[in-house]
Structure 1
């Protein structure tokens, strides 16, 4: 039987909750489009914002988006998956995956290849002719110049080597890196400034600033962001508890009921973790 919480404990809990809320407000002030969680919130259903980013990065004015999905999981046939920050589909069926990578290690060539493969597998439906597969674009916007060549944008292409010359393979698969450190006096430089800016009033593009301003300054937008940050904390805490439970299950020294009590996870969750652990043995 659970004991009742006394008045003094309630006051302490309220004080902790208020403190956490104030910390969330301070963190919210510092968030930028370069923070993937904030970017995905600002670009969810923000067709104009996604179109602006793609037009600048690709150097094309004819980009029209008909679908935007954020934090979308994609799996291949073997079950390996990736969470796409922003997955957009153009009016000509071209598909775009826009990723934010603050860590250089997360923007490696193999990660780009993995995302490109998943995107192609998602595009091609059973029975489709591979010759009709639309172009796909995996775009990494990185906080640092991961290529180290001081360029604004890096286009990764496949080429056919013929003697001493190269010809574009033209398979329609595109990987692009955008240097978040770039500050040239052009559209890309202005865009990267906005991605690193935490004050909407200092941003160049109003279509991006408007969304950032809503989630940072509007009462409803702030409440939405604080709820998202609370959910992220709860998810992180639950994932930590699950990892601990898995270690305890593997050790085999405690009954499942005791593991559930210790980790404060539902018994059904512990049973599910046990089944998953046994399948991997």
Structure 2
């Protein structure tokens, strides 16, 4: 990897936070103790023990929309947890929780399962902004029976919105502070601080992050060249080349936005102004 490219990626890594999707993949990889600690904090518990977990598990559906949950966890009692991290509340609508719940139900139901053996499922969406703007640390969503004085329905489905803006002096407040922090030295949760420190200071982990960023960039450059060639056939080689370069930037800007990067980081990666990034995103009716 060229030195200039490597430095660019290292600069990006310095600004990444646990809220950033691409950083989260490395942070929680082979880090069972950290995932277990975070899960217990989110649910205000201390007794959850993880049996196994997967990051970005591709749950393919043949006749319907597939999903790729951020972190899917199974505890030692067989309960299932899905932790989703979203910078924008707009990307975490209630319909998405509903659909994820249905896919997880099917994914973890064996053909011979009895209905009373269906797993307890917990879906937690951590959004950087307060989803309901009411200041609560967590919003618990459970079905109730209206005619029975809102008695719990007990369908074993538990949905949560976690407020990423919550900053009280308790473990959840510290965790949300740390999720928004790029400087590991300012983090409060010890396990999270140490894991971030390793990624940002040890050569092996930094190189792994650089390679992940490079792989992502290559994918977007290839897509940009392909779109440019198509335009070149229609508009001529010169115009196609210019359009290809623009499409490459648009494609990269869009995908970095979807992965949670902010405008400043995207503008530095594309070597253009923040206003130019906004213009590129606007062409696809997106914003950060």
Under TM normalisation by the shorter chain, which class is it?
0.7 to 0.9
- Provide the rounded CA distance (Å) in 1 between the counterparts of 2:228 and 2:59: 27
Relative distance call for 1:167 and 1:244 in structure 2 (3 A) is: farther
Q: State the TM-score, normalizing by the size of structure 1.
A: 0.78
Matched, 1:126 2:105: no
Matched, 1:200 2:191: no
Q: State the TM-score, normalizing by the size of structure 2.
A: 0.76
Aligned CA RMSD, in angstroms, stands at 2.3
* Bigger Cα displacement from structure 2, 181-190 vs 206-215: 206-215
SS at match of 1:32: coil
SS at match of 1:225: helix
Matched, 1:95 2:80: yes
Aligned-residue offset at 1:237: 2.9
Instruction: Give 5+ residue unaligned stretches, structure 2.
Output: 235-243, 245-288
Relative distance call for 1:232 and 1:127 in structure 2 (3 A) is: same
Aligned-residue offset at 1:70: 0.6
- Write the mapping of 1:1-281 to structure 2, written as runs, cut at 5 A: 17-162=2-147, 165-240=149-224
Over 4 Å off, 4+ runs: 239-245
Q: In the alignment, is the contact (CA less than 8 A) between 1:44 and 1:68 conserved in 2?
A: no
Instruction: Give 5+ residue unaligned stretches, structure 1.
Output: 1-13, 254-262, 264-281
Aligned-residue offset at 1:243: 6.2
* Bigger Cα displacement from structure 2, 68-77 vs 135-144: 68-77
- Provide the rounded CA distance (Å) in 2 between the counterparts of 1:21 and 1:112: 38
SS at match of 2:70: strand
Relative distance call for 1:61 and 1:220 in structure 2 (3 A) is: same
SS at match of 1:78: coil
How many residue pairs align between the two structures?
A: 237
Higher relative contact order (CA 8 A, sep 6+): 2
Q: Greater strand share, 1 or 2?
A: 1
Relative distance call for 1:175 and 1:21 in structure 2 (3 A) is: same
- Provide the rounded CA distance (Å) in 1 between the counterparts of 2:90 and 2:223: 22
- Provide the rounded CA distance (Å) in 1 between the counterparts of 2:147 and 2:224: 53
- Provide the rounded CA distance (Å) in 1 between the counterparts of 2:18 and 2:43: 19
- Provide the rounded CA distance (Å) in 1 between the counterparts of 2:225 and 2:73: 34
